[in-house]
Amino acid sequence: MIKKSIRPEIIVFYYLLAVGISMFFRVKFLNPEWYTNLNQYHFGWILISLLRASGPLTAGILSILIFKKKYQRTITLAGSSIVRSLIYFLAPVVMISLVGVSNETGENMCLYGLIWGLSIMAYCLFEETGWRGFLQDALRGIPNPARFIIIGTLWYLWHLNYLMPGLHSLKFGLLIHLPSCILGSWIIGHLADKYKSLLVAAAIHCIFNVFFDLNTDIKSKMMIVAGIFLIWVPSSYFLDKAEKQKFVA
């Protein structure tokens, strides 16, 4: 029988494992030499990016498998609709590819945009496997918005940016990054609860990464995000309508 009460030990297990794995790829003075040298390889940045998100992915999968009888899992890969999940997941890839991403390697901007879009969506899915795929369900006994505030705070601390100099200082973290993580947890968490989908959660997560990480100007970022919503909003409207008609029938 699945336990519906919160189990602190499984939360601690997940979080310590997520931080413990990722810290070697997120904190410079802990980086293994082989990891640092990945920069010299063509598209080595993709592996660097994915390794930075390997903590929540690994901890999330292990926690789901080990503790599946100790909490109620509701959020899965495709959730309530594989069609909706794929539309949400692929929309950022399509728009980033169409707008293109400038680069120093001489790659075609649209092709580079496709590579960047696919890699960042994989990164977001890695993270969301832990934060929404496991932790959000494991903390379901805590009412909202407290649950989202807790997840957002743990998410912020996992980034370990307060250990880094410059832009990722403690001041930047507390004033910008922490509120962004809490807001993101509320928005992503609400839609993850609604659609039960990790792919949808990863797609919403991607919007934040476009603004914070995409190496392009603000006009291009706005075009990408506007295009993404032009795909999401009508498709969600028609899918919701179709689901309601199917339910009534």
Residues 6+ apart with CB under 8 A from 222: none
- Cα dihedral: 190, 246, 129, 67 (round 10): 100
* pLDDT for 34: 93
Name the more confident of 161 and 186: 186
Question: How much is the mean pLDDT over the chain?
Answer: 92
* pLDDT for 165: 62
* pLDDT for 166: 60
Give me the residue label for tokens 């010299």. 40
- Cα dihedral: 219, 222, 228, 233 (round 10): -140
- 111-141 pLDDT tens trace: 999 999 999 999 999 999 999 999 999 999 9
The yes-or-no verdict on residue 63 having pLDDT over 90 is: yes
- How is residue 118 written in tokens? 């696919």
- Whole-number Å distance between alpha carbons of 35 and 24: 9
Q: How many alpha carbons lie under 13 Å from residue 218 in its C-beta half-sphere?
A: 0
- Whole-number Å distance between alpha carbons of 85 and 198: 8
In this structure, of 118-122, 154-158, 169-173, 207-211, the range with the lowest mean pLDDT score is 169-173
When pLDDT is cut at 50, 70 and 90, the band that residue 248 belongs to is low
CA-closest candidate to residue 26, choices 51, 1, 44? 51
pTM above 0.75, yes or no: yes
